[in-house]
């Protein structure tokens, strides 16, 4: 069951009561505190728990990366650009399309603007639209690039697949199938290559053993740690 609780310090808190939970868990999503708690929690218990853990929850908020979009924003990607614009043809709707030119995919997301009221951009909706556009373009962009990289390092994956994963950017199965998330298209080319090379190393070593990391380091010209650090610091322009 999901409900909400208005807290003096945190504002509106979205609460989900789950069977089997023995304590509560808090996470910030786009500036809103979401709490999962045992089914026996009531407003009094929740208020006490939030007060007891106020400092830790505030610390979590300070680390949260809130995604926002604005008109005129251009998001660069791997062989693609995403531009946020406006339209006044269809009231209350977000129109989107992709135009391809010389191997580059230009994606347009246009929110409604009647020229009178303030423009409202819902980050969750726009983020989902970006995901749809990327998934359509990814087979055309990522698979040929992955095939090219495979030839460069001398590996032969059994097959390529494009996934919708938000957390996992790549995966290699025991059958040698390399799965790539369409979200790779939001990364610069050298990080796309790094993820692909990481999965190619799994064709030889399915674990993350020292031998595996040695192979990744070989594939990346001795830059595995540097690239992994850069990937962890990358600021994603979508809600993950």
Same domain, 217 and 132: no
Q: Is the pTM of this model over 0.75?
A: yes
- pLDDT tens-place string over residues 153-181: 999 999 999 998 878 999 999 999 999 99
Predicted pLDDT at 120: 85
* Stretch 122-134: mean pLDDT: 95
**DSSP secondary structure letters along 20-80:** T-SS-EEEEETTEEEEEE-TT--HHHHHHHHHHTHHHHHHHHHH-------TT-EEEETTE
Same domain, 6 and 89: no
240 domain-assigned? no
* Stretch 110-134: mean pLDDT: 94
69 domain-assigned? no
Q: How confident is the model at residue 30 (pLDDT cuts 50, 70, 90)?
A: confident
* Mean predicted lDDT score pLDDT of the chain: 93
175 domain-assigned? yes
Q: How confident is the model at residue 99 (pLDDT cuts 50, 70, 90)?
A: very high
Query: How many domains does the chain fold into?
Result: 3
Domain end among 18, 42, 63:
63
Same domain, 229 and 147: yes
110 domain-assigned? yes
Predicted pLDDT at 57: 87
- Parent domain of 168: 139-233
Same domain, 48 and 113: no
């Amino acid at each position: 069951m999901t409900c909400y609780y208005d807290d003096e310090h945190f504002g509106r808190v979205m609460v989900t009561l789950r069977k089997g939970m023995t304590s509560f868990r808090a996470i910030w999503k786009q500036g809103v505190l979401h709490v999962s708690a045992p089914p026996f929690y009531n407003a009094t218990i929740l208020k006490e728990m939030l007060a007891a853990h106020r400092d830790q929850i505030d610390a979590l908020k300070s680390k949260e990366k809130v995604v926002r979009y604005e008109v005129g924003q251009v998001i660069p990607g791997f062989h693609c650009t995403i531009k946020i614009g406006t339209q006044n043809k269809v009231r209350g709707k977000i129109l989107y399309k992709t135009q391809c030119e010389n191997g580059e995919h230009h994606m347009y997301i246009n929110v409604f603007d009647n020229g009178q009221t303030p423009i409202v951009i819902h980050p969750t909706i726009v983020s989902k639209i970006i995901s749809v556009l990327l998934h359509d373009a990814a087979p055309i962009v990522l698979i040929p690039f992955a095939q090219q990289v495979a030839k460069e390092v001398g590996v032969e994956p059994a097959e390529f697949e494009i996934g919708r994963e938000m957390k996992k950017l790549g995966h290699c199965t025991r059958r040698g199938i390399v799965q790539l998330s369409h979200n790779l298209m939001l990364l610069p080319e050298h990080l796309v290559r790094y993820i692909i090379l990481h999965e190619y190393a799994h064709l030889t070593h399915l674990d993350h053993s020292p031998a595996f990391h040695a192979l990744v380091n070989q594939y990346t010209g001795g830059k595995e740690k540097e690239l992994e650090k850069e990937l962890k610091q990358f600021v994603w322009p979508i809600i993950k």
